[in-house]
Structure 1
Amino acid sequence: MTEGNFVDYVKIHVTSGKGGKGSAHLRREKYIPKGGPDGGDGGRGGHVILKANENMWTLYHLKFKRHFKAGHGGAGGKQTSTGADGEDVYIEVPLGTVVKNTDTGETLKELLEDGEELILAKGGKGGRGNNHFKSSTNQTPRYAQPGLDGEEGNFTLEMKVLADVGLVGFPNAGKSTLLSVITAAKPKIANYEFTTLKPNLGIVEYRDYKTFVMADIPGIIEGAAEGRGLGHYFLRHIERNSTLLFLIPADADDIKKQYDILLDELRRYNPELIDKDKLVAISKSDMLDEELKSEMKTELDIQFKGIPYLFFSSVAQQGLMELKDTLWGMLNEKVRG
């Protein structure tokens, strides 16, 4: 999936169908000249319905089509026949799509199961035919109800990436490079900040044909929780990951400080993120000789007590299997727990 095709935020306008009008028909047959009212009800207007589809990964299909209008209900007919219901319009979205009312800001629902539906705009009710209004004092009512208008509204769809492992780190920490090496994903890679402007998803192949999904979340900068840079836009994708992989380059001035800054950004954005399983991976470790690595381990054992960490190098293909083993163990432990 190319970066340009990954759309995770769209605004749409929807209009449901108007209800059909009721019929004011009077029964007139050859041998029944005064048969009374037999007008049927109008059909309901069509709904606009959001539907989750597990085979979709992006909102790209809504990038160029933002307006949706359902069909109107049919008018009632003679012999109390009800008009046809208006045609419903279905909008399919990926799992993990959050639906908000754009005008009020209210979050309506998050679609997490395949086939789950949410009616955004209900079709107008069909009008009642004159058959409903006959009485002992008015045996031939010549009026019927019009159909009710449909609903109209603006909605914002936000997609949160559904992945097992989310890569968290500052820009240029080596996340895209790691994803390109251990998955079939082809993220854009360059030596400048914010190369990754959209999340990249990749399937990591593990032993015995097992797999798990990894997402390269665009780089965090200090102040992301306040929306600085592209902060909130990126951080919402981390909410759906079950395990967070913190990537910090071996040549960082202070590895623990970088980790603390990243953790603080997540905490300020959503404190629940801190409860997720965490693994610190020190990238670009091919730049370290064994003596320097040993010194760093002694220091990191004290700084990261209770938090697992490991060294690896995407370019030199070092420590990648250990990284996969550790992540697989953490994911399976979560499933068993």
Structure 2
Amino acid sequence: MFVDHVKIFVRSGRGGDGHVSFRREKYVPNGGPDGGDGGTGGDIIFQVDSGINTLLNFKHIRQYKAGDGEPGAKKRCHGKDGLDKVIRVPKGTIIREAESQKIIADMYLDDQQEIIFKGGKGGKGNQHFATPTRQAPKYAEKGRDAKEYWVTLELKMLADVGLVGFPNVGKSTLLSMVSNAQPKIADYHFTTLSPNLGVVTNRFGKQFVMADIPGIIEGASDGVGLGFNFLRHIERTKVIVHVVDAAGTEGRDPKSDILTIIKELDKYNPQILETKPQIIAANKIDISSEYIAELTEFFEIGRGIKVVPISAASNSNLQTLLQEIDTLLSSLPADNITFEPEFVEDEISKESFTVSEIESGYFAVSGVGVEKMIGYTSLDSEKGFAFFQKYLRDKGIIDSLEQAGIKEGDTVRIYDIEFEYYK
């Protein structure tokens, strides 16, 4: 079964809590704090696996969680880091944040590996918080929270050329004749239920990847038939080949069929037709070439879309078609069509902080944004300290301290800095 779109839940590991303990040894009555740090939570990692060509496995397993970091221990023992969770996906998978549908990563390279969400940092043990005036701190940091998101995985197959056309026009036969692909072929509609890929080598030795993309019919962009599931694969192809029944063996009008598919592609994504050259493979000329003149006049002369008469079944004129395709590909960039990341984690969560009263008159402020600010601010200078005070007020930290009951002369600790509070 071919599956190319799923929604899953991922969660990185939570950081382990720092430990509060004091050195207790014979003949060492005041050994001081020796609480160890918590371990870092595991990361969520996506890995391209060349042995996978569908997202079917994700239909059965919908939740993926990395390991949490273990808490620190006495004697300065560091907690064990959580295990990373490696999620294997087929090449061409796009990862999106489910709510916003913004792209997190495009997995388009062989063996590509991306850390999508990092695990939470472990909290520091109380050994880090001893000062000359507070030699027995009973405080340790909590580990950072895990990151959890629903994400969608969307497989857009990597192919240079996409074959599109109504059912039973000979797409699968054409692919089987010009490549190493062996698609299922029969004389009934919707034989092809999933995209098939084949590597094509023309008479000059040049190679490119061709995909038979099924199910694109009238109404496909609205979910009719199989088309809605497979239109996304067109977005990665560089050249579109319209395969039509130029003999009209089923009473269809090939000109009308092409215009219908062009309409569906434009409705799904207007950029497809703006950025991808098209060519028409007028198939089944071994039976009749009744519509060739009309197709040539309307599309080749009228719209600049080359029409190549072929017979896939009898291997007639296929090399001419391949050469025309190669000419179009040669005019395009050699790189794969890729999609740039758009997703940025919520800035509010990055700037969040917590205020806690550790003991009477002693308050601690923690948070990623606060710690970063401490890291790039020089508190030794008057200008730097003024910036520090403004940051605390603008971010609402002063208000939170006052709500927690802080009084003048109480001590505030932010990361490894302590200061007395004055209004």
TM-score range, shorter chain: 0.7 to 0.9
Corresponding position of 1:259: 258
- In structure 1, distance between residues paired with 2:261 and 2:170: 15
- 1:71-90 alignment, distance < 5 Å: 71-90=67-86
| Partner amino acid, structure 2, of 1:266 | L
Secondary structure, aligned partner of 1:207: coil
1:116 is displaced (CA, Å) by 4.5
Secondary structure, aligned partner of 1:244: strand
Q: Is the 8 A contact 1:162 1:240 kept in 2?
A: yes
Corresponding position of 2:310: 312
- 1:1-337 alignment, distance < 5 Å: 4=1, 6-53=2-49, 56-114=52-110, 116-252=112-248, 253-274=252-273, 275-288=275-288, 293=289, 296-304=291-299, 305=301, 306-335=304-333
1:37 is displaced (CA, Å) by 0.5
Cα-to-partner distance string for 1:259-317 (whole Å, 9 max, x where unaligned): 111111111111111131111001111102xxxx4x74443332121211111112111
- In structure 2, distance between residues paired with 1:272 and 1:313: 31
TM-score by length of 2: 0.71
1:19 is displaced (CA, Å) by 1.5
Secondary structure, aligned partner of 1:285: coil
- In structure 2, distance between residues paired with 1:176 and 1:207: 21
1:323 is displaced (CA, Å) by 1.6
Q: Is the 8 A contact 1:24 1:129 kept in 2?
A: yes
Secondary structure, aligned partner of 2:150: strand
Q: Which runs of 5+ in 1 are unaligned?
A: none
1:223 is displaced (CA, Å) by 1.3
Q: Which runs of 5+ in 2 are unaligned?
A: 336-423
Q: Is the 8 A contact 2:47 2:111 kept in 1?
A: yes
- In structure 1, distance between residues paired with 2:258 and 2:70: 62
| Partner amino acid, structure 2, of 1:271 | P
Structure having greater relative contact order (Cα 8 Å, sep ≥ 6): 1
Q: Is the 8 A contact 2:247 2:291 kept in 1?
A: no
1:177 is displaced (CA, Å) by 1.4
Q: Assess, with a 3 A threshold, how the Cα gap between structure 1 residues 212 and 336 changes in structure 2: closer, same or farther.
A: closer
Q: Is the 8 A contact 1:100 1:109 kept in 2?
A: yes
Q: Is the 8 A contact 1:121 1:153 kept in 2?
A: no
Identity across matched positions, percent: 47
The aligned length equals: 328
1:94 is displaced (CA, Å) by 2.8
Q: Assess, with a 3 A threshold, how the Cα gap between structure 1 residues 316 and 270 changes in structure 2: closer, same or farther.
A: same
Q: Assess, with a 3 A threshold, how the Cα gap between structure 1 residues 209 and 33 changes in structure 2: closer, same or farther.
A: farther
Task: Give the root-mean-square deviation of aligned CA atoms.
Answer: 2.4
1:125 is displaced (CA, Å) by 2.6
Cα-to-partner distance string for 1:73-131 (whole Å, 9 max, x where unaligned): 12223443432321111112233212123345444333333455444443233122111
- In structure 1, distance between residues paired with 2:208 and 2:187: 27
| Partner amino acid, structure 2, of 1:75 | P
TM-score by length of 1: 0.88
- In structure 1, distance between residues paired with 2:115 and 2:228: 27
Secondary structure, aligned partner of 1:131: helix
Q: Is the 8 A contact 2:215 2:225 kept in 1?
A: no
